[in-house]
Amino acid sequence: MKLAALLPALFAVPLLVAQTADDARALLGSAISAEKAGNARAAVRQFEKLLHANPPADVAGQARLELLRIHQRREDWWAAAEQLRELRKLAPDDSEYAYELGAVYQNLSKWAFERLQSLAPNGARTQQMLGEQYGIAGEREKAIRAFRQAIAADPKLAGSHLALAVIYAQLGKRTEALAEIDQELAISPQSAAARQIRQGITGPTP
Distances (CA, A) of 77 to 34, 68, 110, 158, 204: 22, 9, 10, 26, 42
**Domain residues of the chain, as ranges?**
16-93
Is the pLDDT reported for residue 55 higher than 70?
A: yes
Least confident of 63-77, 94-108, 179-193: 94-108
What is the chain's Cα-based Rg? 26
Q: What is the pTM of this model?
A: 0.56
Question: What average pLDDT is seen over the chain?
Answer: 86
Least confident of 7-21, 62-76, 97-111: 7-21
Per-residue DSSP letter, 156: T
User: How far apart are the C-alpha atoms of 24 and 4, rounded to whole Å?
Assistant: 32
189-203 pLDDT per residue, tens: 999 999 999 999 987
Res 114: pLDDT: 83
Q: Confidence class of residue 2 from pLDDT cuts 50, 70 and 90? A: low
120-174 pLDDT per residue, tens: 888 999 999 999 989 988 999 999 999 999 999 999 999 999 999 999 999 999 9
Per-residue DSSP letter, 123: S
Res 21: pLDDT: 79
Res 41: pLDDT: 92
Res 204: pLDDT: 60
Is the pLDDT reported for residue 19 higher than 80?
A: no
Pick the CATH number of 16-93 from 1.25.40, 1.10.150, 1.10.357, 1.10.10: 1.25.40
76-110 pLDDT per residue, tens: 989 999 999 999 999 988 889 888 988 888 888 88
User: How far apart are the C-alpha atoms of 173 and 167, rounded to whole Å?
Assistant: 9
Instruction: Report residue 131: phi and psi, to 5°.
Output: -60, -40
